[in-house]
Structure 1
Amino acid sequence: MTDPLINEGAETEEAQAATKAAVFNAAERLFALNGFQNVSVRDITAEAGVNLASVNYHFGSKDALLFEIFRKRTAELNRERARMLHEANERHAGKPPVREILEAYFTPPLKWSDPANDRRISIQFIIRARSEGTAEMREAIQNDVSHLARFADALIAARPDLPRETVYWRLHFVLGMVHNNRFAEFDRLHHLSGGITREGDVQALLKRMLDFAEAGFLAAG
């Protein structure tokens, strides 16, 4: 691919967009597979087949590129969750049951994690961001809770008998299920169980998660 910097601005906007996309996709893949600290700007541009200056030209810096990937992918993931929750609201006149609220939260990242899904790299990147992310990413993870607020509100409406504090704590524990439930970790569980817990089917895994989380939310306060 030709880099716009080589031709000193002679490339079209379409070519520049293609270069930017190549850098974005190469960086996402390399960061997801190798870790944030183990990937250099040179690694990214070599993988993308573009000029070394492309990262700074299109994104400003390596950290800015990292944050742009994080921002875009988390926004896409949370839009899918919001869409599913909206559909559940429509089915139940604005008060969906606990299971369908949890399903809207669990399903998108679980589907992305499927080894057969092209989005697996994106979810691996997001997972990396939680443990290796830049200061800007960590701040966003800690303070940007707008995507969670709609789920908290829905769960409060579904369990009005529970103290709000209890609902928030139970949601917190549910979030832990998502953050720590990855196909890459199943080998450890397989060894622990002596081989009886092998699970590679997304729908079957989703049902297991929903059964457990729903029971937690339906328990008395």
Structure 2
Amino acid sequence: MGHREDLLEGAKRCLLQKGFARTTARDIVKESGTNLASIGYHYGSKDALLAQAYVELVEAMSDAFEGGPEADLPGDPGSLERFTAVWANIIGTMRDPGSLWRLSMEIVAMGDRLPEVRDHLARAQRDGARGLVTLFMGGREEDVPEETVDTLGGFYVTMLMGLMVQWSFGPQYAPEADRLAEGLRQVVEGVRKG
């Protein structure tokens, strides 16, 4: 690995150990075995490096959303069974006390103070919305129309962010996957009646 990759891996470890706000450039350099100048040369700033590291940590979690690298999600794409299975897997990632979702809450809370990071993560969130659409509905990410990213993808991201908040503040009150599926069923039933 070169300095760029070493920095990224070191930044990931620092984020998981210390969080975003408490990680310094010196922490990353120490963890990665590189030097301070490398951060600016390869990433522009410590915050940009940490944002990229965070995005890669979240992307790496996609296997867990599917139930693991060898898992085959139950139910047909778009079915209530698939909806329940995917949310059960996502919720499973939130149970760990040191989970990435706690770091996510820190970054959300800091967003207005770090516009460069916020903009980077907003673009990554859009890619995440596209990935969530294919996770629930099947297909390939490159085939998902922008309109679907904006609507269905936005719906899934909103649910994910809401769950993240609920699991961070009161896991004992946060819904399980079967409750989410029942809530969706009730919404659909209400729309049909209306």
- What's the TM-score bracket when you normalise by the shorter of the two chains? 0.5 to 0.7
Mapped pair 1:216 → 2:194: no
Matched with 2:80 is 98
Give 1:32 deviation, angstroms. 4.6
Cα deviation digits, residues 161-210 of structure 1 (max 9, x gap):
xxx9xx9597566334422133x534xx7xxxxxxx5x9xxxxx8xx511
Matched with 2:107 is 129
The alignment partner of 2:72 has SS state of: helix
Give 1:218 deviation, angstroms. 1.4
The one-letter amino acid of 1:110's match is G
Q: Distance in 1 between matches of 2:95 and 2:49?
A: 23
Matched with 1:114 is 96
The alignment partner of 1:27 has SS state of: helix
Cα deviation digits, residues 88-147 of structure 1 (max 9, x gap):
3xx54x3464143232144146336413xxxx4544434433333512113332575211
The alignment partner of 1:114 has SS state of: coil
Matched with 1:175 is 160
Aligned-CA RMSD value = 3.9
Matched with 2:142 is none
Q: Distance in 2 between matches of 1:58 and 1:150?
A: 32
Give 1:216 deviation, angstroms. 0.5
Tell me if the contact between 1:170 and 1:216 (Cα under 8 Å) persists in the aligned partners.
Answer: no
The counterpart of 2:72, out of the listed 75, 78, 87, is: 87
Matched with 2:48 is 64
Matched with 2:141 is none
Matches within 5 A, 1:176-215: 176-182=161-167, 184-186=168-170, 197=172, 209-215=176-182
Tell me if the contact between 1:74 and 1:126 (Cα under 8 Å) persists in the aligned partners.
Answer: no
Q: Distance in 1 between matches of 2:163 and 2:92?
A: 8
